[in-house]
């Protein structure tokens, strides 16, 4: 920022000094305008319109626009649409019975009272995955005539004392390469 004394010093040098000074200021203004425009354009760049990585986009992400066409229907489930739900099965794999031990009103024991009815709830779930270990035993027998010990042969797929089976061997590449589990 120019001080008042500097401006008066240029004024006292005459009209040509004032014109030169104004031209100098105009050049400075043009340079600054160019710099401002460059900085504004740089801030408009993001990962979608330049080579910048997405991590440099900052926190202002553009709002994604829905590809759905607008309709007059309300959001959510529509009236008259038949819903889908799980149904009770007649033959569950496991049944756990919970029996009341005492009355919550008078604290009387209910151990020997007959059952009046049931309320049923069912849970559908996957069974736990567990490794199955198969032991291969090769019998050794003694020949009754020559007394030599004879053995049968293991299958060609069983070559070591402890090893993984073919199902696990097929699963390992899937887990390491596609699911990225190491």
Q: What is the pLDDT of residues 96-153, one digit of tens each?
A: 999 999 999 999 999 999 999 999 999 999 888 899 999 999 999 998 999 899 998 9
Residues contacting 114, CB < 8 A, separation 6+: none
The predicted pLDDT at position 39 comes to: 82
Question: Any idea where the domains of the chain sit in the sequence?
Answer: 4-48
Is-above-0.85 flag for pTM?
A: no
Beta bridge partners of 149: 142
Element holding 39 (H helix, E strand)? helix 15-44
Q: How far is CA 115 from CA 21, 94, 102, 111, 171, in A?
A: 106, 20, 13, 10, 49
- Using only C-alpha atoms, the chain has a radius of gyration, in whole angstroms, of 43
pLDDT at position 90 is 93
Whether the Cβ atoms of residue 76 and residue 83 lie closer than 8 Å to each other: no
For 28-76, the pLDDT digits (tens) are 999 999 999 888 877 777 777 888 888 877 777 667 788 888 888 888 8
The tokens of 182 are what?
């190491």
**pLDDT given at position 136:** 92
């Amino acid at each position: 920022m120019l001080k008042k004394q500097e401006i008066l010093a240029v004024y006292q040098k005459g009209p040509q000094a004032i014109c030169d000074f104004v031209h100098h200021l105009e050049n400075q203004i043009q340079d600054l305008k160019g710099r401002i425009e460059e900085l504004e354009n740089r801030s408009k760049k993001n990962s979608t319109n330049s080579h910048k990585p997405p991590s440099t986009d900052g926190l202002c992400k553009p709002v994604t626009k829905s590809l759905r066409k607008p309709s007059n229907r309300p959001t959510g489930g529509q009236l008259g649409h038949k819903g889908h739900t799980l149904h009770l099965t007649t033959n569950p794999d496991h049944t756990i019975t919970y029996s009341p031990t005492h009355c919550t009103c008078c604290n009387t024991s209910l151990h020997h009272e007959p059952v009046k009815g049931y309320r049923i709830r069912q849970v559908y779930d996957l069974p736990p995955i567990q490794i199955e270990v198969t032991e291969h035993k090769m019998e050794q027998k003694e020949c009754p005539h020559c007394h030599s010990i004879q053995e049968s042969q293991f299958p060609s797929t069983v070559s070591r004392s402890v090893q993984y089976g073919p199902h696990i061997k097929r699963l390992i590449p899937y887990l390491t390469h596609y699911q990225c589990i190491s």
